[in-house]
Amino acid sequence: MRFKEFKVKTDPLIESFGERILPFRDPDGLQIRLVVPSTEDKRVPWQTPQVNADVATKGFHNVVLTLKKAEPTAEILTDILGYRLLKQEGNNYRFINDEVDSAAIVDIIESSAQPAGINAGGTNHHIAFRVHNDEILMQYREKVLSSGLSITPKIDRDYFYSLYFREPGGVLFEIATDNPGFTRDEPLDQLGTGLRLPQQYEGSRDKIEKMLPVL
């Protein structure tokens, strides 16, 4: 009903890995999916005065990669990032990380007919994986290098440190830390009350503020 109210384009309901899925389109036409998970999600729902806890979203469920070949990317997920193959349905492969409580699922759809993605406005730029600190981050850097892939040096993003590498299927992966966190320049109880920018973008604050939608 809310999609109709706000004129959001939806695609037909589908089912995958025993889960009901409602695909819809964002303003740029990118497909996003609402998922009813097959297992209990213990995260706190994101309630508003208009959306109660029974139907509120709880966060990311999974990411879907559409690739010409599943195996090379699957090896990166299992050998480096700690995932395991949970199940397969036709050309759809589901990988899960047992060490993570939420947003721990990566689905790969193998499709040789799918054209390569183009990096442009309205598309996904990369997929990010979270680690606790920069010590663990650098351990993953060594793993990626040992696999024969190229990876960036550690990059300071003010609020976190990150690495980037392109996996064999062409998707850009990021590994990012929790530290130092968003409380490095404002108290916890004031988070989100104002626009904070990494130092490298402070010089463009006026331009950035003019581009942002009104909340």
Domain segments of the chain as ranges: 125-188
- As a whole number of angstroms, the distance between CA 33 and CA 39 comes to 17
Distances (CA, A) of 30 to 9, 40, 120: 11, 27, 11
What is the SS3 assignment for 146? helix
CATH superfamily membership of 125-188: 2,3-Dihydroxybiphenyl 1,2-Dioxygenase, domain 1 (3.10.180.10)
Instruction: Judge contact between 24 and 30, C-beta under 8 A.
Output: no
In degrees rounded to 5, what are phi and psi of residue 61? -105, -50
Q: What is the structure's pLDDT at 215?
A: 76
Residue 168 amino acid letter: P
Full pLDDT tens readout for the chain, 215 residues: 789 999 999 999 999 999 999 999 998 888 999 999 988 888 999 899 989 998 899 999 999 999 999 999 999 999 999 999 999 999 999 999 998 877 799 999 999 887 777 777 778 899 999 999 999 999 999 999 999 999 999 999 999 999 999 999 999 999 999 999 999 999 999 998 999 999 999 999 999 999 998 87
In degrees rounded to 5, what are phi and psi of residue 169? -80, -5
